[in-house]
Amino acid sequence: MSISRRPASLRRILFAAILFCPLPFTAPFAAAQRLPTNVVPQRYTLKLTPDLQSATFTGVETIGVTLKQPTNAITLNSAQIAFQSVAVTAAGKQQKATVSFDKPKQQATFTFADPLPAGKATLDIRYSGILNNQLRGFYLSKARGQRFAVTQFEPTDARRAFPSFDEPAYKAVFDITIVAPKTDTVISNSPIEADTPGPAADQHTLHFYPTPKMSTYLVAFLVGDFKCTSGASDGVPIRVCATPEQVNLTHFALSTAEFALHFYDNYFGIHYPLKKLDLIGIPDFEAGAMENFGAITFREQDLLLDPKTASISTQENVALDVAHEMAHQWFGDLVTMQWWNNIWLNEGFATWMESKTVAAMRPDWHIPQVVAADEQGALDYDAAPTTHPIRARAASTPAEINQLFDEISYEKGCDVLLTVENYLGPEMFRKGVHAYLTAHEYGNATAQDFWNAQTATSHKPVDKIMQSLITQPGEPILTFASPANGQVSVRQQRFFLNPEVKPDLTEKWTLPVCFVSGAGQSCDVLTPETSTLKLPEGSFLDANARDKGYYRTAYPEPVYKRLVADAETRLTPPERVGLIGDEWALVRSDRASVGDYLNLLAALKSDPNATVIASVVGSASASILSGAAGGLAVVNDRVAATPDQRTELAAWIRRTFSPEYDNLGAPSPNDTPNKKQLRAALFALLGGPGRDPKVISQANQIAEHFMQDPKSVDPNLGQTAMAIAARNGDTALFDKLQQIYETSTNPEFQIGALRMLAEFENPTLEERALQFAVSGKVKSQDAAIQLAIALQIPPERQLAWKFIQSHWPQVHAELTPELGEILVASSGSFCNAGARDQVQSFYSTHKVAAASLSLKHAIEEINGCIQLRQDQEANLKSWLQEQPGIQSGSSPAE
């Protein structure tokens, strides 16, 4: 499953927003939530008849099971299901069941008068359910007067559609039939075997080929007026489907899917396991996308776009989401984790694989630089005391399981795999992946199975490295001495961003450390027992070649100064991104001065790579929305404490970066993707924390042209201009954006306009945006995000928080579990003790489902900001005083 990505979409607007803490679950408590192991399902035969107008459905279900021992009771999962009848046939004898419920556990138990013998048995169940409005299970989705019945089962919601053994290890075959209105399209995991009229005159019945063995959470069925664009790759039919008015936006995703399927066939050495692949955009969808076997579902904005008007970041997001979910078809669907505590292996691998695929498809997008920037967010998240190991100790309830889908599972999981692949080499790592998949296809596996395959294939200590990185929380900081005699002394300890948190000195890692060398890199393995590492020839020291190691670095001052001086000539762009990230981490932990950090950003001001400059720019909402770490926007929001300091910092930004923006010249159709994004990043810096009146004026003009004719403006610059214009906007602009949201059928424009409504800094318009978010006119999949965005924008933060408190019944009504976590996590944007205490007190009495851990992390974020400002504000003030001509009395226009 993808939680979407970056501010343009929901993982990675949403992903870093889903913040979690350690999982203090005990084995006895966890075991009490699991199903008994005596009954194993083999085959489900399902016939469902949804009624879209009444938002209900009926089901006829047969489950073939194997009983390991005699029993007179069978327990399975069920939620929001009403049973009409239950019977079992075993050893030629049929019995009716008495049904009892354990609603807190979402379990139903069928009890029989006579014991059932060990061996095969068949359950026959008649039941009904609701098409709920919770964006999970079998639910109702609406768009432009139409209704759709769609599914989202991961992790624990198949039980809302059919009684089932709803745990990933209980793989079975699914034989699915759907009775639907005759004008509606029906999509499921397998191709259609038969489509016959009836049983009513206005219905048709669709029977799908049986699936291979798979877990319940991967089952999907969708009913509604979907239209599809068709293609194929390696002999596999591929369709991208959407509502009728959006089918013209499916072509980009289709071409991406065609490329990815061929790429994965070759990479895994295993042909795509099913007979078809569908990708479907759903009008209402909580997550970003979901890897249902053969029927992948998406938020519309994460699948559909017009390449003529889509920004590069939007195209990247769609391509990465498509590649992510398709990687799951092998890694997660074909081979599935044994239990949810190893979900990181599914999600970390798909996150790692998505970048490899898109980098091969579009080298001009410089995806390795994007990966390096994403890693900084994971490292910052993992440097909090409330982080947790990649492999969670246990998780049993739906709430506990949902909390495992976080930055650690996705981003740290990806980064650990990147570290190991970089150490082994791409081809050796690929061979280990192939060995793992072939050994467990159509079955279940654990993380140990994966790293044992890598160890056996490579004959290197992958098991020790993976064990170290996966079972321990946090990350190390490697502190190097000056190199001498072909080696360098190094000290490792656990790293925390907050300097008040002291590490346990016994926590140490086994991990490969790769040095930049003339040949590219040279690696040595650091263990808890070693204190020196071998160096490649030459005196230049950068201990994170290609920025693929999962650790922070610190160097003696002469070594660091040389790194900065030679950064543009000796370091690759990902390594420069890592240099920026490491220095900001040292500032956060009070090991370096914010002035040194700003000097580094100034040294890189002319960098020609958009991702490097984006790291310089940063985002004031980095910890919640973008995943970016540090940057000038963060210094402006989290370190600067007075209007004068922000005014002086803005003057320095204009003086330092305006010439770089001017040097790019006017936009041209011949600009590379990198140049377009570079221009947009500098424009955002100057129009945001730089407060450049000239850029703000230009933004207003560009935004007006972009709204009138999106094809007349480079969309990368157009979308950036829209954000700047919105923050400085008036009622007329607000009205136009609201109209675009309410009338556009292009998800990029529609959701982009909605997000901009949350950006207005005018208090009257901010209040209007907040009211609109909970008015019922904004979909529940988006309402909480609007509030979360407002909490991230400094001028809006306090008003947004007061609104949430005073309108809590309306706000709470919009929250699903995932979106509730996002809202609570975004409360961590404050930077003072009074607000921290308010947040703690309010959410202690106004509970949000599955968000207790998010609240703990939000409080920690606030405390970290308080500490950062306490440590660094005076340093910032002194540094600003040393910069000529930028004192607060100077003119704002330079």
* Segment 393-398 mean pLDDT: 80
Which SS3 state, helix, strand or coil, does residue 710 take? helix
**Residue 721, pLDDT score:** 97
Query: What residues form DSSP beta bridges with 224?
Result: 185
Q: For the segment 863-880, what is each residue's pLDDT rounded down to a tens digit?
A: 999 999 999 999 999 999
**Residue 5, pLDDT score:** 41
**Residue 624, pLDDT score:** 34
| Lowest-pLDDT range of 18-32, 268-282, 327-341, 450-464 | 18-32
* Segment 409-426 mean pLDDT: 96
Report residue 411 as tokens. Answer: 């981003």
pLDDT category at 894 given cuts 50, 70, 90 is very low
Report residue 400 as tokens. Answer: 């506990």
Distance from CA of residue 828 to its chain's centroid? 18
One-letter amino acid for residue 375 of the chain: E
Quickly count: other Cβ atoms within 10 Å of residue 456's Cβ. 13
CB 348 within 8 A of CB 409: yes
Cis previous bond, 155, omega within 30: yes
CB 766 within 8 A of CB 798: no
| Lowest-pLDDT range of 60-69, 831-840, 882-891 | 882-891
Catalytic residues: 325
One-letter amino acid for residue 396 of the chain: S
Cis previous bond, 558, omega within 30: no
- Identify which has the larger pLDDT, 392 or 242: 242
Q: For the segment 665-723, what is each residue's pLDDT rounded down to a tens digit?
A: 999 999 999 999 999 999 999 999 999 999 999 999 999 999 999 999 999 999 999 99
816 has pLDDT over 90: no
Question: What is the C-alpha separation between 641 and 831, in angstroms, rounded?
Answer: 10
Which SS3 state, helix, strand or coil, does residue 455 take? helix
645 has pLDDT over 90: yes
Q: Is 637 buried (19+), middle (13-18) or exposed (0-12) by CB count in 10 A?
A: buried
One-letter amino acid for residue 156 of the chain: T
**Residue 888, pLDDT score:** 57
DSSP calls for 740-758: HHHH---HHHHHHHHHHHT
Question: What is the C-alpha separation between 34 and 37, in angstroms, rounded?
Answer: 9
* Segment 192-220 mean pLDDT: 98
397 has pLDDT over 90: no
Rounded percentage of the chain residues whose pLDDT exceeds 70? 94
* Segment 104-127 mean pLDDT: 97
Percent helix / strand / coil, the chain, rounded to 5? 45, 20, 35
Quote the pTM value: 0.95
Q: For the segment 511-523, what is each residue's pLDDT rounded down to a tens digit?
A: 999 999 877 799 9
350 has pLDDT over 80: yes
Q: For the segment 564-617, what is each residue's pLDDT rounded down to a tens digit?
A: 999 999 999 999 999 999 999 999 999 999 999 999 999 999 999 999 999 999
As a whole number, the mean pLDDT across the chain is 92
Question: What is the C-alpha separation between 768 and 738, in angstroms, rounded?
Answer: 11
**Residue 553, pLDDT score:** 98
621 has pLDDT over 70: no
Question: What is the C-alpha separation between 761 and 186, in angstroms, rounded?
Answer: 45
Question: What is the C-alpha separation between 841 and 833, in angstroms, rounded?
Answer: 12
| Lowest-pLDDT range of 2-11, 217-226, 307-316 | 2-11
Which SS3 state, helix, strand or coil, does residue 819 take? helix
22 has pLDDT over 50: no
